[in-house]
Each structure stands twice: as structure tokens, then as C-alpha cells.
Copies of this chain bind each other. A is one copy, B any other.
Amino acid sequence: MAGGPAGRRPRVHPADEPLLLADDLAAVRGDGCFETLLVVGGRAAKPERHLARLGRSAAALELTGPDEQEWLAGIGMATREWGAESEGVLRLVLSRGPERGGPETAYITVGPVGPQVLRARAEGVAVTVLIRGFASDVADSAPWLLLGSKTLSYATNMAAVRHAAANGFDDVVYVSSEGEVLEGPRSTVVIERAGELLSPPQEVGILEGTTLGAMTAVARQAGVTVRRERLLVADLLAADAVWLVSSVTLAARVRRIDGVALPSTVPGVDVARLVDRAVGRP
């Protein structure tokens, strides 16, 4: 675990020693942003995409943060600490710093990939559709809602996942108040239809998925089209296959949406393989 204030040289901080002051705005206001990266073969996957998104989130929050070289130095230190033997989860955190005043807080954690992630990769997931409460046109008109930013304020995302689990589901697909498909609380929705891959456009008020971006580049080389298109729940139910893609879980095939089992046929496009290649996984 590497920590320290923004703008200083990174240093290793023992994981079992407190790092944050009690009034750090990360803790008392969720006032900051983060990224989660997969560590595979001793290297963090697609760091440039995560740093670009972290930079956009920081700008939306009016935070500065370490520059790209400083983050890369910290990522290098954290991945060396983690080693190459097993996959890991690396998190970049940037907060406004202590409420009493002082520099922004920037740190990196690294830890193991959880068993739920491994199960979702291997067996797929059952998802429930939940409203996120916003109309799909609100992101542009109300920037204070921070809809395109990956902020530390994830309480409702975690509550949605708990709500799903209490009803026997592994994960969630959010829809807008008009019923448009948005995203998962921790993932991007991708469907296969007639040999093409489709995913909702960012302007419906969702995060721009780094895994979707990296996968799109790999898919293009493989002759597979990835298009951004507005989707309804009916489009998921009628799809040849549905996935949740994300940086750590990678590709989780959706097996069931609420009461409806999805077709278990072999899909035409091997999304899991495309994602593996996108993150440099053997």
C-alpha cells in the first residue's frame, strides 16, 4: 500500500497502520474520486485509461491530484510490492484532504481479488433491474450531480448491490426514470446482437468504461464492431448475450435478468477473450 499527500514522492505505508486523518473529506463527505485497476502478471492493466478518467473526475470535482508521472510512480511501487504471482486489485484514491485544511490526499491500495469476482467470471451473474432515479438527460444540465465522475460517494451503489443480494441476485443493472439501460453500479453493460456489440452511450449519464474502451480497440482489430446505442430492458432480454464488463471482474455473462433466464447459447463474439486481451491477460 503506497500513500502520502499529492505532489510528494510515493512511499510504502503498512496496510495495518492508519493512514487517514479523522476529518479527511474522503471519509466524512465522500469528497474525492477513485479508480480500480486489475494487477495481472505484476503489471497494472490499462493505467493510461484509468488515469485519464481519474483526471476527468478530479476536474469535475475541482481537484488537482498528482500528475500522471507521479501516479505511475506510485502504481509501479504498489505493483512491485504486490508481485506477479497472483492477480490483485489496485485502487487509486484522491480526496480533497482534511476538512481542517491542508493538501489533497492521494494514495494507492493493493489487495487480493475476491471470491465473488472469480465466481462471476466463471459462472456469470443474475441481475435485477433497479431505477437510479435520474432522467437520462440530466447529466449535462446538472453537472453538480457528477454523473460522469467516479466519486468516492458510492453508498447508493453499495446499497443497490445489497438490495439485489437480499433478493437473490448477484448484481444490478440501473435504468433511468424513463427505463433506459444505464450501467451496473460497478460495471458497463454490453450486449451482443446480430454479431455486433452494443453499449449505452455516455450521454445517458454514465461512467465511460475503461474496459469497454480497451475492449473496443481490441475488437476492431478482430473485425468486431462495438457501437454505442441507447438500449431498453427489452433489448437486453432479446439480445444474443448480455455481459457486465469491468476492470476487475472483466466480463461476467448475465444469466438471468429478474425472473427471465437468458439464452445460454454460445455467443458469436467471445467477449471474455476480447476483454482478456484488452487487459493483457494470458
Q: Please, how many angstroms separate the alpha-carbon atoms of A95 and B22 in the complex?
A: 12
A 139-173 binary contact with B (CB < 8 Å = 1; else 0) = 00111111000011111111110110000000000
Stretch from A10-18, A208-216, A247-255 at the B interface: A10-18
- Asked if A146 and B159 sit within 8 Å, CB to CB, the answer is yes
Instruction: Give A36 Cβ to nearest chain B Cβ, in Å.
Output: 9
Instruction: Give A27 Cβ to nearest chain B Cβ, in Å.
Output: 4
* CB < 8 Å neighbour of A144 from B91, B99, B130, B134: B130
Tell me the interface secondary structure of chain A in the complex.
Answer: mixed
A195 at the interface (CB under 8 A from B): no
Stoichiometry, as copies per complex, reads 2
Contacts A131-B142, A133-B142, A144-B159: A109 and B30 contacting too (C-beta < 8 A)? no
- Asked if A22 and B1 sit within 8 Å, CB to CB, the answer is yes
Chain B's closest residue to A34 (CB) is: B28
Residues of A whose CB lies within 8 Å of any CB of B are: 1, 3, 13, 15-32, 34, 60-62, 91, 93, 95, 99-100, 107, 109, 111, 130-135, 138, 141-146, 151-160, 162-163, 177
7 A-B pairs with least C-beta separation: A30-B30, A153-B153, A153-B155, A18-B18, A20-B20, A26-B27, A144-B160
